[in-house]
Chain A
């Protein structure tokens, strides 16, 4: 398994690096999960992080949003993200849709979306214009996910798994994020629903130029929408490159996609 770990700035031809991760270490207490990974994502790109269960994919996202402490460097448009708390990275435009969706089950769908727009609250002269903008964004999210509009007064806890995932993504979009982090959006969902979700993520990315980092075990799906992809194993990047190239690489398909299919049963 000696895939090439590219040092980030070298192999990124298409756009300027917007998210720059280098030598990132992270873990929980004594358990170290990430052993110095580095990659970069261009502005407006979708980046997929693939790998088997326990490789450190979720930890990577958590380190980016500040849910776990990391060492090394993570910059977003030149601003250091490490050493900040989740509520602080959110202020810098990082919207993290955590594993297991993280909806507010006691709140209605619309309330969930309004919490997502929490940081856009303004006082004084700009209050009104921002309120109008938030209302417009609510419409926009309902436009992406018409099901949510139907259920806007329903408690989030009463939604189906797919609808909850939509709501979680919708909530993240309400922040008007610069960087959207998606953790296993396909987890526990029917293939058809997942496909639809990924299609919408791609649409959002194209229409709003939102930079996306998506972590997936279902490599096939993620590679379909991603521009760049990285394969993580045991806390190290073992392969990086353009998504098409990785998809076509027979070895990858065999080794990693194979692993991912098996691991899904356990997880």
Chain B
């Protein structure tokens, strides 16, 4: 039993990483109606930035906020330079642009930092703490804690600030938002910036568990897709819940379903996506629940 609980906690740890990447996807989807296929790669680049900062001697806990700030600016810049010119074009056009960005960023990272793997420093202490008979690694707790703090801040931003209100208004009805005098461009930039920030968080947190290399976020992106599909692409709360569920499901499947093992775990999100689409295509937190976010 305690081993099972342990697996669940591990799953929540992995899941909170997927949750933040899924949240990044959902943020952009809510504003623009598209899926940003480059989200994982942007997170990867942010992680390289963090690595570069740490490698040049900056302490991790300073490098993290600096990286998040750089990512925020980068996300805004991408919206302004890359997405704005195709705004109003058919969905397909914008999606293909994000696919192009995916390919480009992946290759560019390889060009700058090479394709050889790098070690990313583990920011949390070694060892574990016993809670209710379950040994939980500090690293798992740390990941959960950091994600929880950032989610809490985002919640405050969206629910209790004027900027958050404006952003929710734009997501709910862009045309009416404009008629109320809201400048869409700024809000969209902000949305992309925030998405890049939460995405970057997932990259920085996952990097110590994996190795740092240009393809590191490919798998995480698919888990995040599954999380967003499960939660509903319109629901930030759903993305977080979906991320946790997907993380736990993945960990349990890897541990207890012999056939799956470590190498076929990537089939779990595919299965989840297909099942959700067949059973409840709008996701667990479809439209109706969104406003209670």
Question: A contacts B directly in the complex (CB < 8 Å)?
Answer: yes
Are A155 and B291 touching (Cβ within 8 A)? yes
Contact, CB under 8 Å: A105 / B172: yes
Chain A residues within CB distance 8 Å of chain B: 65, 67, 85-87, 90-91, 95-96, 98, 102-108, 111, 114-116, 118-119, 121, 155, 157, 171, 175
Taking a contact as CB atoms under 8 Å apart, the answer to whether B179 and A96 are in contact is yes
CA distance in complex: A96, B184 (Å): 17
Answer yes or no: B169 CB below 8 A from chain A CBs: yes
Instruction: Give A91 to B180 CA distance when docked, in angstroms.
Output: 8
Whether A119 touches B291, Cβ cut-off 8 Å, given contacts A67-B175, A107-B165, is no
CB of B173 closer than 8 Å to a CB of A: yes
Pull 6 A–B residue pairs with CB atoms less than 8 Å apart, ordered by A. A65-B179, A87-B183, A98-B179, A104-B168, A108-B291, A115-B177
**Are A115 and B166 in contact (CB-based, < 8 A)?**
yes
Q: Are A91 and B181 in contact (CB under 8 A)?
A: yes
Structural contact, B181 and A87, CB atoms closer than 8 A: yes
In the assembled complex, the Cα of A119 lies from the Cα of B162 at a distance in Å of 12
Give the Cβ gap from B183 to chain A, nearest Cβ, in Å.
5
B166 contact set on A, CB distance < 8 A: 115, 118
Contact, CB under 8 Å: A98 / B175: yes
Apart from A103-B173, A104-B168, A115-B182, what 5 extra A-B contacts exist at CB < 8 Å?
A: A87-B183, A87-B184, A105-B291, A115-B169, A118-B166
- Cα distance, A155 to B173, chains bound together (Å): 14
Chain B, 194-213, CB within 8 A of any chain A CB: none
Question: Is B147 engaged at the interface, CB distance under 8 Å to the other chain?
Answer: no
Given A106-B168, A107-B169: A118 in contact with B181 (beta carbons within 8 A): yes
Nearest CB of B to A179, in Å = 12
Contacts of A91 in B (CB 8 A): 181
Does B25 lie at the interface of the complex (its beta carbon under 8 Å from any beta carbon of A)?
no
B114 within 8 A of A: no
B28 part of interface (Cβ distance < 8 Å): no
Distance, CA A121 to CA B181, complexed state (A): 11
CA separation between A36 and B258, bound complex, in Å? Answer: 74
Measured in the bound complex, the distance between the Cα atoms of B176 and A116 in whole Å is 9
**In the assembly, what is the distance between CA of A238 and CA of B21, in Å?**
58
Task: Give complex CA distance A95, B179 in Å.
Answer: 7
Whole-angstrom distance between the Cβ of B88 and the nearest chain A Cβ: 12
- B residues near A (Cβ < 8 Å) are 162, 165-166, 168-169, 171-173, 175-184, 290-291
**Complex alpha-carbon distance, A119 and B183, angstroms:** 10
| Across-interface contacts of B181 in A (CB, < 8 A) | 87, 90-91, 118-119, 175
Can you name the residue of chain A whose Cβ is closest to the Cβ of B291? Answer: A106
A114 cross-chain contacts in B, Cβ below 8 A: 165
A102 to B180, CA, bound (A): 11
Q: By the criterion CB–CB under 8 Å, are B172 and A90 in contact? A: no
Asked whether B183 lies within 8 Å of A107 as measured between CB atoms, the reply is no
Is the Cβ of A102 less than 8 Å from the Cβ of B175?
Answer: yes
- Of all chain B residues, which has the CB nearest A181? B179
- For the complex, what is the distance from the CA of A193 to the CA of B175, rounded to whole Å? 25
User: Quick check: A116 and B171 within 8 Å, CB to CB?
Assistant: no
CB <8 Å contact, B165 and A111: yes
Across the two chains, which residue of chain A brings its CB closest to B159?
A111
Which B residues are CB-close (under 8 A) to A86?
Answer: 175, 178-179
Least CB distance, B182 to chain A, in whole angstroms: 6
User: Which residues of B are found within 8 Å of A107, using beta-carbon distances?
Assistant: 165, 168-169, 172, 291
Shortest beta-carbon contacts, A-B, top 5: A90-B181, A102-B176, A106-B291, A119-B181, A104-B172
Chain A residue with the shortest CB-CB distance to B162: A121
Complex Cα distance A157/B172, Å? 10
Give the contacting residue for B180; candidates A90, A105, A157; CB below 8 A: A90
Partner of A102, one of B162, B179, B183, B184: B179
B83 to chain A, nearest CB (A): 18
Tell me the complex Cα distance, A151–B24, Å.
32
- CB A134 to nearest CB in B, in angstroms, measures 11
Most chain A C-beta atoms within 10 Å of own C-beta, residue among B162, B166, B176, B180? B180
Question: Of B169, B171, B173, B180, which one neighbours A119 at CB under 8 angstroms?
Answer: B180
**Residue of B with least CB distance to A85:** B178
- The distance in angstroms between the C-alpha atoms of A1 and B165, with both chains bound, is 50
Bound Cα distance from A98 to B180, whole angstroms: 11
| Distance from A182 Cβ to chain B, minimum over Cβ atoms (Å) | 12
Q: Closest Cβ of chain B: how far from A70's Cβ, in Å?
A: 16
Residues of A within 8 A of B165 (CB): 107, 111, 114-115
Contact status of A171 and B291, CB under 8 A, knowing A105-B173, A111-B165: no
Q: Across the interface, which residues of A come within 8 angstroms of B178, CB to CB?
A: 85-87, 90
Chain B: minimal CB distance from A143 (Å): 21
Which of the residues A65, A87, A102, A105 comes within 8 Å of B182, measured between beta carbons? A87
State whether A103 touches B180 (Cβ < 8 A).
no
Q: In whole angstroms, how far apart are the Cα atoms of A65 and B181 in the complex? A: 11
Q: Is the CB of B179 within 8 A of A104?
A: no
Q: Do B180 and A115 touch across chains, with their CB atoms under 8 A apart?
A: yes
